[in-house]
Amino acid sequence: MSAARPPAGTDVPHQRPVEDELTQAVLDSFRDTEDPRLRELMRSLVRHLHAFIRDVRLTEDEWQQAVAFLTAVGRSTTDRRQEFVLLSDVLGASMQTINVNHETVDDATEATVVGPFFVEGAPEIPLGGDLAGGAPGEPCWVEGTVTDTAGNPVPGARLDVWEADEDGLYDVQYGPDRTAARAHLFTDDHGHYAFWGLTPTPYPVPHDGPVGALLARTGRSPLRASHLHVKATAAGLRTVITHIFVEGDRLLSQDAVFGVKDSLVKKFDRQPPGTPTPDGRLLPDRSWTRVRFDIVLRHA
């Protein structure tokens, strides 16, 4: 009969030399890696991975389950759904990478996760245009300015915007032929922008795959706090991918991908039906909201 497996965190003195020897052998195997950064990454990965295995005293069955899980994640990934990005998101790895690479300085707009549903080639709309494209939801007027950290307006900045509809779905989740609630536009000579979108509502991250099963088994909700995505790009300035979150949303402290930052939470003012809109749009029979979101870009 084999001995009982020691609990997680237990040091096993008689095994320590064998385990240390293996870890060192793997580290040494990267000694001749020509790229110093690749060598650093691989050696650090090995140290942390081996430390995790030893810390929890990982069983062979658990290792096989982990391999099967990652295999399922790979099989669920397509050109329109990135299950590995979703896994990174729900583990906080995406946000931690963003935190490491986007320091909060000079009042620049804070970055957050890109998410699994960004698609290149969104259609262009004019200033004041409507990106909804027929997607269901309450109309929302979004406006603001793009400036650098010195307060100078940034004309011609490109803003890519995408969001889920009121049913909690992005256009790519409907199929390959649908483009809605997704567009890009450019700031005017004064760095100003404006467009019609949809009032953000909470929605679940895709939870019909292996990542969703992981969330369910660990007692976590798949819901994201209400938001819309913005990617701001301008020559000579650092690109930022960010969100606009809705003030008062109950999920701000429970966002499934840990993407909420206080500076990105804005007030969406609801207007009753018939209230005049900034651009003269007629909405006599329905409410709408408006929000201001000023974007500040750092110099590259």
pLDDT in tens, 224-275: 999 999 999 999 999 999 999 999 999 999 999 999 999 999 999 999 999 9
**Residue-averaged pLDDT of the chain:** 94
Residue 164 CA to residue 222 CA, distance in Å, equals 15
Nearest Cα residue to 137 out of 22, 226, 242: 226
Check residue 1 and give its pLDDT.
38
Q: Could you tell me the fold of the domain covering 84-297?
A: Protocatechuate 3,4-Dioxygenase, subunit A (2.60.130)
Q: Is the pLDDT score of 35 beyond 50?
A: yes
Split at pLDDT 50, 70, 90, the class of 137 is: very high
The answer to whether 50 touches 18, Cβ cutoff 8 Å, is no
Tens digits of per-residue pLDDT, 147-204? 999 999 999 999 999 999 999 999 988 877 789 999 999 999 999 999 999 999 999 9
pLDDT of residue 106 exceeding 90: no
pLDDT (0 to 100) of residue 10: 66
User: What would you measure as the largest C-alpha separation in the chain, in angstroms?
Assistant: 81
- Looking from the CA of 109 toward its CB, the CA atoms found within 13 Å total 28
Q: What is the dihedral of CA 59, 63, 65, 68, to 10 degrees?
A: -170
User: Contact 245/110 with Cβ under 8 angstroms?
Assistant: no
How far, in Å, CA of 222 to CA of 206, rounded? 8
Nearest to 95 by CA among 112, 118, 117: 112
CA dihedral 73, 78, 80, 85 (to 10 degrees): 30
Radius of gyration of the chain (CA): 23
Give the single-character DSSP code of 124. Answer: B
Question: Cα–Cα distance between 242 and 38 in angstroms, integer?
Answer: 29
Which H/E stretch holds residue 197? strand 192-198
Sequence-distant (6+) residues with CB within 8 A of 17 are none
- Taking the chain, what is the end-to-end CA distance rounded to the nearest angstrom? 63
Please give the average per-residue pLDDT across 206-226, as a whole number: 96
- Rounded-to-integer distance, Cα 141 and Cα 154, Å: 21
On the question of pLDDT at 79 being above 90, the answer is no
Number of Cα atoms under 13 Å in the Cβ half of residue 195: 29
Instruction: Please give the backbone phi and psi of residue 144, each rounded to the nearest 5 degrees, phi first.
Output: 170, -165
DSSP letter assigned to residue 185:
E
- Taking alpha carbons only, the member of 138, 173, 152 closest to residue 286 is 138
Q: CB of 256 within 8 A of CB of 124?
A: no
pLDDT(82) > 60:
yes
Distance between CA 289 and CA 97 in Å, rounded? 33
For the chain, domain boundaries: 13-58, 84-297
Amino acid at 85: V
**Helical pair 210-217 and 60-76, crossing angle rounded to 10 deg:** 130
